[in-house]
Amino acid sequence: MAAIKLSSSGKAVQFIDDNGLVFQTSTYDYSLLLSGKKKFITPVRLPHDVNPNRFPPSQMLVPRTAENGEIKWEKVDVERGSKGGSDAYDLKKDGERKSNKLKELKEW
């Protein structure tokens, strides 16, 4: 599932797609687009991706007609590759995981 989020400073709107690619535009440009004063905006691609597991896709439901004519909804798993994330949040958590590991020492 794609996600749209406000940056922590509140000055930018970030668009995160299913593959973890992050695009960003200013809230001012976004408000001009929503008000109709601009016809299109070109968001900037950010250098770090987000882990696709952080914003998982929604389950898709497909209607199937049963033998008695009832419509039954069937869950469909979406197959997509995940390359892992390298955004600041993931790098911070990865650093915490590495620093919390116990080290085996030989004293003799």
- The predicted model scores a pTM of 0.51
Q: Check residue 86 and give its pLDDT.
A: 60
Q: What is the DSSP string of 36-90?
A: TS-S---PEEPSSPPPTTTSPPPPEEEEEE-TTS-EEEEEEPPP-------SHHH
Q: Check residue 39 and give its pLDDT.
A: 92
Nearest to 50 by CA among 11, 82, 8: 82
Distances in Å between the alpha carbon of 97 and those of 20, 85, 89, 92?
A: 22, 15, 12, 9
Q: Note down pLDDT in tens along the chain; length 108 residues.
A: 578 999 889 999 999 887 888 999 999 999 999 999 999 999 999 888 888 777 766 656 666 676 777 776 666 655 544 445 566 666 666 666 666 566 666 776
Name residue 62's amino acid: V
